[in-house]
Structure 1
Amino acid sequence: MRNFLVIFYALLKLGLAIAPFQVQCPSSPLIREAKYEICPEESVYLKKKEIKTKNRLIDFLKSLTEAKFNSKFYKRVLKDPPKLGIAISGGGYRSMLVGTGFITQMNDYGLFEYSDYIAGLSGGSWILMDLVVQNFEANSLLQEWDLEEDLLLGIPEFDISEEEIVTNARKEYKDDDIRMRKRQESTQITNFSKFYEQMEIFANSVEERSEDGRITKRNLNPLTRLKKIFFPNNTFTEADTKIETFKTVLDFYKNLHLKIKPKKIEGFQISFTDYWGKAIVQRLKKNFDDDPDHTFSFSKLVHSSKKFKEYSVPIPIFVANCKNGLLSNIIFEFTPFEFGSWDSMLRLFVKLPYLGSKIISGKAIKCVNNFDDLGFITATSSSIFNNVLIFIWNLASQSSREAVKALNMVMGIFGLGKEEIFSISKESSRLETDYAVYQPNPFYLYPEKDNVLTNKDHLYLVDGGEDGENIPLRTLVIPERKLDVIFVLDSSSDIDNYPNGSKLKKIFEKLDEENVHYQFPKNIRALTRPVVIGCNATKRSGHDSFLPIIVYHANAYHGYVSNTSTFKITYNQSEVNNMLLTGRKVFSNDYDPHYKNCLGCILTKRTMDRLPRKKKFSPFCLQCFKDYCYS
């Protein structure tokens, strides 16, 4: 008992150190109205970064022997350097691994650190988390990740597409299914708060061992119920064989719970996303629990990074969608500077270090720091994994009554019973814990912004993949960021876990509604090479700037079958190496030297487009545009 209490209080002390804590509110406003510009801190960073990194592009251009750029051209590029962004799609570890190879190849070309932004969602957000943990050292990516351990113990690995997950997870159940569930309520944990209470009892129970080594408890009720949840009779037998002992699973969730508890103690709403965020962090090989001075605040980690302080790396942007009032395709973003949305419904941002503060009508009432936990933000962006569990529920509803009963227990630990999932309404006063809950809402009752984003004291955020917007492109296309070229890596699972361009098409349709027009290729016959979209110098509607060129890359077969399931949650070293190699080949077009030379033309096209004279491009570049551009 003494040893258990020592461990418990050590974890609790550590948790309190990294939990949100109250601070004095600053005298300056915490909310920014985003009318026509990015925030001042972002603007200053980019100006200093341009000075720091623009010669890296010149080095790349000088390495291109086919393109044969001259000194006058280099001077023009130095005077007006193009601005680059990177957008990494969702797709679980598939996206993370292919994306890491993609970035590594960019880094070898000298283009990664030259880029101004890197945006990610879902599996792409895991790359951003890794970059932050690794102090933006691109060549150190994956060194801290343990890819041979399950992300969530007790949940089986299976092959299903994101679209099937999202489409089927929200199907309505029949009335008789609902009645059957009500009859079973007495024997099940049916909501998140009850799960939290049971984990609380379990975490504080006295642990003993019998002579035969089995775990015993002074209070057997939570142990018995948790065992039914994780190991229901004749259910998930494949998962049973993957978990060495029942204690392994229990300890996994107990440790997550103890790390989450301090946030609850501080009065903040807890959701499944909090557990998911801590689970992601636990996949890092480095034990951050040993460092009492360590913080997982996104803003603090980034601003303490040597490379970021030197203005030599792209700004990371985590992307998520809002579900207040059952909205769809309303994008929110997290940068190291602020959190908010560019959507016309809001266009408000809060300083990121003060996320979690109580702000009413734009005035700070109570301020906190450390709410911007990197794991929680990453989990928010990748919460499509919540839908995995909902999908399992949906499958089980078509099975026997006994299977439904058993799986309802499993779903119940995550607050995902049928009534919790399918009876969400605008009038509901109960917080939905299957979403990431951001409470207090920093934009609550903001003056002259009376809508579903401001009239509640909480925000629900989810994985962008839930709305089919699996590529974080729109956050980079906004005119305020003035990008010239955006590299897109799409690792979606449209057909056989490979993308077919449909996610990009969906985003273009959404951009059309915002008066931003790109022509989607009518017939993409092969996605094994980059497709360059928007080469023609088209001015933005109502702006004097050009639309950015989009260089679209899709995960495809490049000598290795990289169409692994989004929900494949373990990889051996051979698989990792092959996925990384695929990412390199996707970016480099199979190391094609001609494409690399043409890339010099594509990257500098907007710089040349801004010149007043007509003859701007060499015959070589004109041929490159014919070879790769679709306009």
Structure 2
Amino acid sequence: MHLLTSFILAVGILSSAQAALSGYAPVPATCPGTPLVRNATGISTSESSYISARAPLASAALGAWLKKVNSAFSTTNLPAVALTTSGGGYRSLLTGAGVIQALDSRDSNVGTSGLYQGLTYQAGLSGGGWLLSSFAGNNYPTISNLETTLWTTAFAESLLVPDNLEVGGAYTQISADVLAKNAAGYPPTIVDVYGRLLAYQLLKGPDGGVAIQLSSITGFSNFTSHNVPFPIITSTNVETSTGVCTPPNNTVIYEFSPYEFGSFDSGVNAFTQTKYLGTSLSNGSPTKATCETNYDNLGYILGTSSDVFDELCFTFPLVADVPGILANISAILAQTHTLTFMDEYAIYPNPFYKYNHSTLVQAQSELTLVDGGESHQNNPLFPLIQPARSVDVILVNDNSADTSGNFPDGSEIYQTYMQAQLAGLTKMPVIPPSATFLSEGLNQRPTFFGCNDTSKITIVYLPNYNYTFPSGESTEKVEYLPSETSGMIANGGEVATMGGNAMFPTCLACAIAKKTGDTLPAACTSCFSTFCYN
């Protein structure tokens, strides 16, 4: 019997019993006593409290790292440092993992080790969002731990490959999860199945970590002890009601954090509590006696941030015509409804429906979200360049596939610079166009932007480059041999250290410490000459 046919029959037989046992479906809960929607006049009180408690720990760790690099560095008035990991599928996840490993004093012993402990924020989108979700959703183990206990096997037997669908019986349980969501009154889309398939590879625990919500990270020990940077995952919006199916470059950028979902962008300018995503709201108030929880399933959110199925657009084919894994995903959905092009999107009940401050989306009952890099801003910088967040330095690990060899060419971060100018976000330093990146080789080595302007954030650009492994893997590559997984991670460590360059940790420290305004070691003069753009 054909695999797809037998699978559909199995779903039909098992769905009703197993769906009742699923922990994926949203469930009613008592509404909180605090407002569910607020204006985006700053960061939330919860985030502010976290950052206040995190700051002294991050500052102490950053100071210790600076002193380790060069004892002449001052440790007073230290800046807030963030790390971002771009989109790019498993290529970005693995490269970004290597970058984290090289910064993490628990997991490496190189010149950059210890800087991760000094970070205040961490952001990811798409493949970078997978990395951040796997890291945070498993309570921030080391990269080595994730590699050996989860990723090596999961990536070698990726559930995004049709021949692997029944590994561990995952597909039957995933179908039950999706049917349970439908039974709860929330019609699933491709992103539900896709997110569950990814979660089995990224999250530990029964049924691919089905019990892990983004909001549940707030109860994890490394978060409650403020030992880790505050996590943010980004996505973008498509206004399908206007007759488009992919986002323009100036689309709204939404951010998910353990506390809130929303956007600082004009037209939305509001946030809601992440825990209660899925609740029906009107002008910020619940329309029912109860609110909903579990809609912020972490697998669904990491699937949202990497949803590129909108590129199928209005020509979304019939199930029989869909190739590869999408045929199997579509088969599950066909158990609940007739598929349309709307199944290409991650659907969220609009928390800003009829909310006065959200003029762009207040008439929409639903938000249709897609990959965070679909607006050609593949680095999740917008949340961190907001004036509401006092970030001083951002390490930008860009693993975009802009060139024919699947390496970055600077066009993604340049697009962010251009959109930041249009949005009046003046903290973004000047970024040159891709032609400059290519002609000056800025896409093949670290570069510091904003070195000499105290009004700007300093960006330390860390592009993917094949130092020790052919790291320009296609974004469409969804299965990695164990040797490929380890090779990609190791090469990511080289990206963080500039191929093990003996002077780079000092120069990285110079870029960060320059924000203090204090006297710097003499070695910084040469560093700035080498790495600072303009």
Does the 8 Å CA contact 2:235/2:371 hold for their aligned counterparts?
yes
Does the 8 Å CA contact 1:82/1:483 hold for their aligned counterparts?
yes
Query: What is the match of residue 528 of structure 1?
Result: 444
Matched, 1:14 2:17: no
Query: Deviation at 1:8?
Result: 5.2
Query: What is the match of residue 220 of structure 2?
Result: 305
Query: Deviation at 1:335?
Result: 0.4
Q: Distance in 1 between matches of 2:481 and 2:49?
A: 42
Query: What is the match of residue 84 of structure 1?
Result: 81
Query: What is the match of residue 69 of structure 1?
Result: 72
Query: Deviation at 1:11?
Result: 3.0
User: Quick one: structure 1 residues 350 and 286, their matched pair in 2 at CA, closer, same or farther if it must change by over 3 Å?
Assistant: closer
Provide TM-score, normalisation by structure 1.
Answer: 0.72
Structure 2 SS opposite 1:454: coil
Query: Deviation at 1:414?
Result: 5.8
Query: Deviation at 1:10?
Result: 6.0
Query: What is the match of residue 466 of structure 1?
Result: 374
Query: What is the match of residue 543 of structure 1?
Result: none
Structure 2 SS opposite 1:132: helix
Counterpart code for 1:259: D
Residue number among 150, 161, 164 corresponding to 1:153 in the alignment: 161
Query: What is the match of residue 549 of structure 1?
Result: 458
Query: What is the match of residue 530 of structure 2?
Result: 627
Q: Distance in 2 between matches of 1:553 and 1:4?
A: 45
Q: Distance in 1 between matches of 2:502 and 2:24?
A: 48
User: Quick one: structure 1 residues 18 and 414, their matched pair in 2 at CA, closer, same or farther if it must change by over 3 Å?
Assistant: closer
Query: What is the match of residue 181 of structure 2?
Result: 263
Query: Deviation at 1:261?
Result: 1.4
Query: What is the match of residue 430 of structure 2?
Result: 519
Structure 1 SS opposite 2:192: helix
Structure 2 SS opposite 1:86: strand
Give per-residue Cα distances to partners, 1:564-606, cap 9 Å, x unaligned.
1111111111111111111101011112221111222111111
Q: Distance in 2 between matches of 1:586 and 1:486?
A: 15
Matched, 1:480 2:383: no
Q: Distance in 1 between matches of 2:175 and 2:11?
A: 15
Give per-residue Cα distances to partners, 1:348-395, cap 9 Å, x unaligned.
0001111111110111223111110000000000112x257x39x89x
Query: What is the match of residue 33 of structure 1?
Result: 39
Query: What is the match of residue 263 of structure 2?
Result: 341
Q: Distance in 2 between matches of 1:150 and 1:412?
A: 16
Q: Distance in 1 between matches of 2:166 and 2:342?
A: 29
Q: Distance in 1 between matches of 2:322 and 2:86?
A: 32
Give per-residue Cα distances to partners, 1:147-192, cap 9 Å, x unaligned.
11133233xxxxxxxxxxxxxxxxxxxxxxxxxxxxxxxxxxxxxx
Deviates more, 1:595-604 or 1:561-570: 595-604
Q: Distance in 1 between matches of 2:365 and 2:44?
A: 24
Query: What is the match of residue 283 of structure 2?
Result: 361
Provide TM-score, normalisation by structure 2.
Answer: 0.84
Aligned residues: 487
User: Quick one: structure 1 residues 360 and 506, their matched pair in 2 at CA, closer, same or farther if it must change by over 3 Å?
Assistant: same
Counterpart code for 2:346: A
Matched, 1:314 2:229: yes
Residue number among 347, 350, 355 corresponding to 1:437 in the alignment: 347
Structure 2 SS opposite 1:464: coil
Give per-residue Cα distances to partners, 1:6-57, cap 9 Å, x unaligned.
9656632431x4421111222321111112x211111110111112232211
Q: Distance in 2 between matches of 1:510 and 1:279?
A: 33
Amino-acid identity (%): 31
Higher gyration radius (CA): 1
5+ residue gaps in structure 1?
Answer: 155-242, 398-403, 417-429, 540-546
Q: Distance in 1 between matches of 2:342 and 2:372?
A: 18
Q: Distance in 1 between matches of 2:222 and 2:320?
A: 50
Does the 8 Å CA contact 1:153/1:249 hold for their aligned counterparts?
no
Q: Distance in 1 between matches of 2:351 and 2:319?
A: 40
Counterpart code for 2:69: L
Matched, 1:489 2:397: yes
Q: What is the 5 A alignment of 1:122-161?
A: 122-139=126-143, 140-142=145-147, 143-145=149-151, 146-154=154-162
User: Quick one: structure 1 residues 554 and 284, their matched pair in 2 at CA, closer, same or farther if it must change by over 3 Å?
Assistant: closer
Query: What is the match of residue 53 of structure 2?
Result: 48
Query: What is the match of residue 212 of structure 2?
Result: 296
Query: What is the match of residue 370 of structure 1?
Result: 294
Q: Distance in 1 between matches of 2:531 and 2:402?
A: 23
Query: Deviation at 1:264?
Result: 1.1
Does the 8 Å CA contact 2:201/2:208 hold for their aligned counterparts?
no
